[in-house]
């Protein structure tokens, strides 16, 4: 048998590459090829079993009856104290084995101040490859969480992200300044929601700064800044960005409940209208 000529270390490496927490059958079948391989993989096989049981419990919290159902899910909604910090960290490690998932919604998880941060820290290169919608609401993210999300995006996680909602997640100016360059390197991003976050003019200025030669928020259609701390200066920066062509696809901006004056908010609306009229004239 050809496998018998392969060293024990190499066999363990092959076993590790076959391990899929949500579908452990292939790895177990491989380890069953010989009694020697079965013995060699005893410890990692036991760990795989423990990880499978943890993933099964996580799936049930996400209203999925089995690991197979979680693996094949296109939409996962975890809401109202459903997931702990450890659960979100585990979900991050599963990012590479959720190829069908398109929408991930985390609404008020019981994860404490570091839950979403731990999720982002566990997202490896190419994790959550089909996710186009990531919605996080009513939980703490803050500057540290925003930086962890920046690092995840830099590793190539969430490569197809189109809709990002981070509402009421305690992102202030420092968090948005950290996050802005990563978002501006996501030209496919179409919708960005930051409502009820304590961010203001500094963070918004970083987000809508003149784009680099390539990239920028070229496809951004909707921006929700309602109930943030954006003032007249932030509105002026946003209107200037629209006028300059830095946000060519922008159609909707939500500015309800911000400290800016009605005139400052109206200037943003006028910039959008002018852009829309100019685009219609060219079409």
| pLDDT grade for 81, boundaries at 50, 70 and 90 | low
pLDDT tier for residue 215 given thresholds of 50, 70 and 90 = low
Residues 155-167: pLDDT tens digits? 999 999 999 999 9
Residue ranges of domains in the chain: 6-67, 68-282
How much is the pLDDT for 212?
Answer: 64
How far is Cα 83 from Cα 142, in angstroms, rounded to an integer? 18
- Of 228 and 24, the structure prediction assigns the larger pLDDT to 228
**Residue that wins the pLDDT comparison between 48 and 74:** 74
Q: Which residues of 38-50 are buried (b: 16+ CB within 10 A; e: fewer)?
A: eebbeebbeebee
| Mean pLDDT for all residues in the chain | 89
> 214: pLDDT confidence band, cut at 50, 70 and 90?
low
β-bridge partners, 106: 78, 136
Q: CA-CA distance, 279 to 247, in Å (whole number)?
A: 13
Strands 222-224 and 103-107: unpaired
Question: Residue 163: which of 220, 123, 116 has the closest Cα?
Answer: 220
10-14, 180-184, 200-204, 273-277, range with the lowest pLDDT: 10-14
CA within 13 Å, CB half, 154 = 12
pLDDT grade, residue 180 (50/70/90)?
very high
- Tell me the CATH architecture of domain 68-282: Alpha-Beta Horseshoe (3.80)
- Does residue 66 have a pLDDT over 70? yes
Residue 187's pLDDT is 76
274: left (phi over 0), alpha (psi -120 to 50) or beta: alpha
CA dihedral for 141, 146, 151, 156, sign (positive or negative): positive
Q: Terminus-to-terminus CA distance in the chain, angstroms?
A: 67
């Amino acid at each position: 048998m050809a496998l018998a000529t392969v060293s024990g270390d190499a066999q363990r490496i092959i076993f590790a590459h076959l391990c899929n927490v949500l579908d452990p059958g292939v790895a177990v079948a491989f380890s069953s090829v010989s009694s020697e391989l079965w013995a060699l993989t005893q410890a990692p096989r036991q760990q795989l079993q423990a990880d499978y049981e943890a993933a099964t419990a996580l799936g049930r919290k996400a209203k999925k009856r089995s690991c197979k159902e979680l693996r094949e899910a296109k939409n996962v909604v975890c809401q109202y104290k459903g997931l702990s910090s450890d659960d979100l960290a585990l979900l991050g490690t599963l990012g590479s084995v959720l190829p069908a998932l398109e929408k991930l919604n985390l609404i008020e998880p019981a994860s404490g101040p570091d839950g979403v941060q731990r999720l982002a820290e566990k997202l490896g290169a190419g994790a959550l490859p089909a996710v186009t919608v990531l919605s996080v609401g009513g939980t703490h993210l803050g500057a540290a969480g925003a930086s962890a999300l920046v690092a995840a995006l830099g590793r190539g996680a969430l490569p197809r992200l189109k809709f990002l909602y981070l509402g009421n997640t305690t992102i202030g100016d420092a968090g948005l300044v950290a996050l802005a360059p990563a978002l501006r390197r996501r030209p496919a991003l179409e919708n960005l929601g930051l409502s009820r976050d304590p961010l203001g003019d500094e963070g918004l200025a970083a987000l809508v700064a003149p784009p680099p030669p390539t990239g920028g928020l070229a496809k951004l259609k909707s921006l929700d800044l309602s109930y943030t701390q954006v003032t007249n200066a932030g509105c002026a920066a946003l209107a200037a960005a629209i006028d300059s062509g830095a946000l060519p696809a922008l159609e909707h901006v939500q500015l309800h409940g911000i400290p800016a004056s009605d005139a400052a908010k109206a200037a943003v609306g006028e910039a959008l209208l002018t852009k829309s009229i100019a685009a219609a004239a060219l079409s």
